[in-house]
Amino acid sequence: MVNTVFVLNGPNLNLLGTREPEIYGHDTLDDIAGQLEDRARELDLTIDMRQSNHEGHLVDWLHEAQAYDARAVLLNAGAFTHTSIALYDAIKAVKTPVIEVHLSNPHVREDFRHVSYVGRAARGTIAGFGALSYLLALEAAARI
């Protein structure tokens, strides 16, 4: 699975397109998956896209990405970004590069969103470009 990029999405991202579209946009997670799959084909990559509202699933999938020798992980951990030491530890524990992704820019939002445990462990962060953030992260993953 060397050419596979895991795209892991955390809590409430299953509601994209309807949840606060003024912040997160109108694209659904399926829309984003389609955009990623189209671009991945052009880059000779495969996307393995997943979403869970449960922190442990994200941790397990980070471990799985390493076990399958994935090229990279794009991780939008949602609210777990700001709270999860478990995700921080999992990112630090795996050798697979992790790129933090956010649709909005957390630094211009509520103060509690300014701290990112994911970002402290990730290879890099792309945020604030809506659905384009995922495509920019995929471009980075293709070049790592």
Q: Is 68 a catalytic residue?
A: no
User: Bridge-partner residues for 99, per DSSP?
Assistant: 74, 124
Residues 6+ apart with CB under 8 A from 138: 5, 36, 39, 40, 43, 45, 47, 74
Which residue among 88, 102, 117, 134 is the active-site one?
102
Which residue among 24, 88, 117, 134 is the active-site one?
24
How far, in Å, CA of 9 to CA of 36, rounded? 14
Q: Is 102 a catalytic residue?
A: yes
| Residues catalogued as catalytic | 24, 102
